[in-house]
Amino acid sequence: MKTDQPLLSWKEAMRLNRRAFLLICQKDQKAVISRMVSVVWNALTPYVGIYLSAQLLSALTEGAAADTVTRLVLLNLVSAAVLSLAGAFLNKWKQTESACQYYKVMQFLSDKVMTMDYADADCSSTWALYDNIEQNRWCLGMGMGNTCSHVEKLLSAILTFSGGAALTISLFTSPVPDSAGRYTLLNSPLFLLVMAVVMIAVTCLSPVLSNKAGSYAARMANVRKEANRLVSFFGVLGFENAMAADIRIYRQDRMCDRVMNDKTFLYSSKGLFARLSRGSLGLYQAASAALSVVFTGVVYLFVCLKALGGAFGIGAVTQYVASITRLSGSIGGLIRILGDMRNNASFLKPTFEFLDIPNRMYQGSLTVEKRIDRDYEIEFRNVSFRYPGSDTYALKNVSMKFKIGQRLAVVGMNGSGKTTFIKLLCRLYDPTEGEILLNGIDIKKYDYQEYMSVFSVVFQDYSLFAYPLGQNVAGSVTYDRSQAERCLEDAGFGQRLAELPEGLDTYLHKDISDDGVDISGGESQKIALARTLYRNALFIVLDEPTAALDPAAEFEVYTRFDDIVEDKTAVYISHRLASCRFCDVIAVFDHGQIVQQGTHEKLLEDSRGKYHALWYAQAQYYDR
């Protein structure tokens, strides 16, 4: 069998499981405690019933007095009622505390995404690792979500073993009377040793074989994930509304048939797992089940022979059979769960690789100066930048200055470095070379969060959430309603706001509320612009936020926005140059460099310049 993922060593596997469990304990301590208490109770209390039932049966077979039998019956009933009631209470406590544990465990990943350096969050390898974790969780059911249940099963097996051992020891120590004839052979230490070895061997071998069968699935995780991806995509392709037209025009349903009706597919009748089930995998599973039956037969034989020899009465037979069966089950369960923990550790490893991604960006400590005269200056000084893992410069030797109150337009073709320039300005990335200064101080020295707060940005790929409109504008659950309405009005959304059934409380989209409204691309961009205004930051950056609008509408939005911005600094990025004619300075980017700077009129005078070429290439859209 070819495998693509080797199992980890036992030492490494247990280390990863221990770390995962401790993290969960820190995140959700009450849920862990409730689960562990419930495990202890459920593992040990069955032995109370086994012991009392054996005592009652012995009393009945030995002709005990009626009051003794009555007392034992009442004790059995009362103990069963009390144990059942307490068990139900503990189970309810466990369910209540554990109701959200799955989501709290997954919050490790979401917290990491929100706190990691943007450079890592923007890196394809980071998302490939995250996708691997999600595939393990959704498609294979493996990862950190299994940790608590594995620890539960491990603790349960240990406690069940302890209880079973306590009630089983006397099976081996109770001698057969000398008058039992040939049954006295059962007292032989050698015979007892052989029986113990056989029981232990069969008990251990069954789960070992089961683990061997289970390891196939773990070691072939990547193959399974790939198969699950195909099924999850092609299996629901017909339900994708956005693809419905393409599916019908190009008969893409035939692509679905290629996967869904392929008999050699991984999970199909002639696939790999089917072949393994008919071979070694099936053999391991069958042998494991057969050994479990063999063990049961050996136990019954041994217990019944000793009872026939007079070592103990009928009541003890029920006790020993029940307790030794549970003892065997606990040993098998212990081996099986250790195997499961080892298999699962292979899927914990990428989780911790993700959680251990270090934050390298220096956070700074200086306070951003609050100037009454709002006299701020940003300077790029010989700034160059390469994206992580790339040998090509996205920006090269960029130098420029601009002050608060100016209107700066950044223009250029796709891939010229415009958005990279904004990401460096907002300190989502740090320059590879050179430095960026705010009032003469390297921005790395400012408190990171405080520096970020001076910017309000609408990126190309901005997001609006399925929350009420007002919360989307404010970026907060609590907000100033009058300010939110004013910002929407200024952004050109006022008329649409008046038409919404619940005003600011209207949900966007229908993900959360059935009464949510769907909005057009142009409307969503106006809401994003309103969010930019609501923050009231010193710097407002618009990274092609009006791409869904036609050139005339874009020009109208920018002109209106220019009046709203007032004395703040506004940085506009656009492919369409007519929208930026009102700016004080236009910086023309080409292949990661600033090739021209100046006003619209000055740049047009240079007939050989990049701006002149871009302008007249687009003139048909905005000639007035």
Q: For the residues 104-124, what does the mean pLDDT come to?
A: 86
Cβ atoms 334, 211 nearer than 8 A: no
Residues 241-273 pLDDT 10s: 666 677 777 776 676 766 666 666 666 666 666
Residue 481 pLDDT: 94
Question: What whole-number distance in Å separates Cα of residue 422 and Cα of residue 426?
Answer: 6
Judge whether residue 3 has pLDDT over 60. Answer: no
- Residue 139's contacts (CB-CB under 8 Å, 6 or more residues apart) are 224, 225, 228, 229, 232
**How many Cβ atoms are within 10 Å of 136's Cβ, its own excluded?**
24
Q: Please check the confidence at residue 222 and state whether its pLDDT lies above 70.
A: no
Give residue-wise pLDDT tens across range 160-198: 888 877 877 877 788 888 877 788 887 888 887 887 787
Q: Are 8 and 342 in contact (CB under 8 A)?
A: yes
Question: Which of the listed ranges 121-130, 270-279, 330-339, 613-622 does the model predict with the highest average pLDDT?
Answer: 121-130
Cα angle: 12, vertex 15, 19; to 5 degrees: 140
Residue 16 falls inside a structural domain? no
| Vertex 111 angle, CA 106 and 114, to 5° | 135
- Strand 585-590, strand 593-598: pairing: antiparallel
Q: What is the pLDDT of residue 371?
A: 64
Non-local (6+) Cβ contacts of 73 within 8 A are: 56
Residue 534 or 237, more confident? 534
Please tell me the least confidently modeled range out of 410-424, 509-523, 566-580.
566-580
Residue 254 domain-assigned?
A: no
Token digits for 48? 């109370």
Q: Could you give the CA distance from residue 456 to residue 491 in angstroms, rounded to a whole number?
A: 14
The whole-number pLDDT of residue 394 equals 92
Q: What is the pLDDT of residue 325?
A: 78
pLDDT tops 90 at residue 482: yes
Give one DSSP letter per residue of 473-494, joined into a string.
HHTSSS--HHHHHHHHHHTT-H
Model-level pTM? Answer: 0.73
| pLDDT exceeds cutoff 60 at 327 | yes
Distance CA 38, CA 88 (A): 10
Which are the contacts of 152, defined by CB distance < 8 A and separation ≥ 6?
35, 36, 39
- Between 350 and 275, the more confident residue is 350
Helix, coil or strand: residue 529:
helix
Asked if residues 300 and 321 have their Cβ atoms less than 8 Å apart, the reply is yes
522 in a structural domain: yes
Confidence grade of residue 556 (pLDDT, cut at 50, 70, 90): low
Q: What is the average pLDDT value for the chain, to the nearest integer?
A: 82
Q: What is the CATH number of the domain that holds 518?
A: 3.40.50.300
pLDDT at 623: 53
Between 17 and 165, name the one with better pLDDT: 17
Count CB atoms within 10 A of the CB of residue 496. Answer: 17
Residue 171, amino acid: L
pLDDT score, position 507: 92
Report the pLDDT value the prediction gives residue 326, as an integer from 0 to 100. Answer: 78
As given in the structure block, the two tokens for residue 227 are 């198969």
Q: Provide the pLDDT for residue 237.
A: 65
> Tokens representing 36?
């562990």
| Share above pLDDT 70 across residues of the chain, in percent, rounded to a whole number | 83
In a domain, 532, yes or no: yes
pLDDT of 125 above 50: yes
Q: Any idea which of 2-11, 56-65, 160-169, 332-341 has the lowest mean pLDDT?
A: 2-11
Distance CA 323, CA 325 (A): 5
Among candidate residues 339, 337, 341, 335, the one with its CA nearest the CA of residue 15: 341
CA distances from 397 to 289, 381, 437 (A): 71, 8, 15
Residue 513 located in a structural domain = yes
Number of alpha carbons in the 13 Å side-chain half-sphere of residue 65: 3
Which structural domain range is residue 470 located in? 463-536
Residue 457 is classified by DSSP as E
The answer to whether the beta carbons of residues 6 and 61 sit under 8 Å apart is: no
Using CA atoms, how far apart are residues 557 and 530, in angstroms rounded to an integer? 12
Q: What is the DSSP string of 585-616?
A: EEEEEETTEEEEEE-HHHHHH-TTSHHHHHHH
CB atoms within 10 A of CB 103: 11
> What span, in angstroms and rounded, lies between the C-alpha atoms of 288 and 302?
21
In this predicted structure, the answer to whether residue 4 has a pLDDT above a threshold of 60 is no
* Domain presence at residue 384: no
Name the pLDDT band for 2 (thresholds 50, 70, 90).
very low
Tokens (6 digits) for 422: 């904004």
Name the strand (E) or helix (H) holding 451.
Answer: helix 448-452
Q: How many Å apart are CA 91 and CA 110, to the nearest integer? A: 29
**C-alpha separations of 492 from 455, 485, 527, 539, 560 in Å:** 22, 11, 9, 20, 9
Q: State how many domains the chain has.
A: 1
Distance from C-alpha of 328 to C-alpha of 290, rounded to nearest angstrom: 15
Q: In percent, how much of the chain has pLDDT > 90?
A: 20
Q: Report the distance separating Cα 369 and Cα 365, nearest Å.
A: 12
**Angle 341-343-345 (CA atoms, 0-180°, nearest 5)?**
65
**Displacement of CA 160 from its chain's centroid (Å):** 33
What pLDDT is recorded for position 1? 40
Contact 213, 284 (CB under 8 A): yes
In contact, 624 and 559? CB cutoff 8 Å: no
pLDDT mean over 432-436: 94
- 471 falls within a domain: yes
**How many residues appear in the chain?**
624
Instruction: Between 394 and 310, name the one with better pLDDT.
Output: 394
Task: Write the single-letter amino acid at 446.
Answer: Y
Contact assessment for residue 98 and residue 31, using Cβ atoms and an 8 Å cutoff: yes
**Helices (H), strands (E): how many in the chain?**
23, 10
pLDDT of residue 443: 93
Alpha helices in 28-123 (DSSP H): 29-61, 66-98, 101-115, 118-121
The Cα–Cα gap between 27 and 543 comes to 38
**Rounded mean pLDDT, 467-482:** 92
Strand partners, 593: 590
Classify residue 185: in a domain, yes or no: no
Contact yes or no for 574/600 (Cβ under 8 A) = no
Q: Which residues pair with 89 in a beta bridge?
A: none
Whole-Å CA distances, 584 to 404, 527, 597, 604, 612: 12, 26, 10, 14, 17
Of 2-11, 185-194, 299-308, the poorest mean pLDDT is in 2-11
Place of tokens 């890196």: 123
